[in-house]
Homo-oligomer: A and B are copies of this chain.
Amino acid sequence: MRISELSAATGVSVASIKYYLREGLLPEGERTSATQAAYGDVHVRRLGVIRALVDSGVGIAATRDVLAAIDAPGESINDLLGTAHGAVMPDVAAEADLTAAENVARRVGWTPGSCDEQVLAGLDKALRNLERADFDLSDEVLDAYASATQRIAAAELAGVPTTSPEAAVRYVVLGSVLMEPVLLALRRVAEQVASERRFGKGAG
């Protein structure tokens, strides 16, 4: 199909498609003349992934990293997870002291070395921001978070498809990135539901 048809099929504007082509997120179509190229299903599917990532707040550079991870089936699942996490994590300066994060990480069964330093640094930063705001995180709440994320990770890892390495890679990389907004949104729903139950609607 032509670029205008690709646009119609996906709902993505021709200008955006050209931008993704220029940025190397979308592979070139097959040249049919000096000014035209033909696009196929692979472009339709790829555009769906790109739009889902960008719409989830993933920047263009991070989207490129995520797509590169999906396209690199030679890498180990661990390395792919690290790449996916690195792509969507806020930049965190390297920390000499990760004690706060390490103490909390032990609650999810972490042993030193089983987790990227960058990911631990992200946790450490989030915990330090609680301190700065004088927010007192109780052990009960922390344990709820720790066991909740452990259950989530276990369910996710149990679901890694075994049909093909490509399917596994896709599941791990996209799941790790695209489920973040789902998790935050579900927590907000759960909080409002629990709050209404405890405090009643609009009459706290």
Contacts and interface: CB of A to CB of B under 8 A. Distances in A.
A43 interface: no
B104 A202 contact: no
A192 B82 contact: yes
Copies of this chain held together in the complex = 2
Contacts of A194: 150, 153-154, 156-157
B204 A76 contact: yes
A59 interface: no
**Size category, A interface:** 35 or more
A116 interface: yes
Contacts of A153: 187, 190-191, 193-195
A157 to B, nearest CB: 5
A146 interface: yes
A130 B55 CA distance: 11
A111 B194 CA distance: 11
A106 B123 CA distance: 30
B52 A188 contact: no
A152 interface: yes
A198 interface: yes
Interface stretch (A1-9, A16-24, A31-39, A174-182): A174-182
A134 B190 contact: no
A188 B89 contact: yes
A151 B155 contact: no
Interface in A117-160: 119-120, 122-123, 125-127, 129-130, 132-135, 137-138, 140-141, 143-160
Nearest to A138: B159
A102 to B, nearest CB: 10
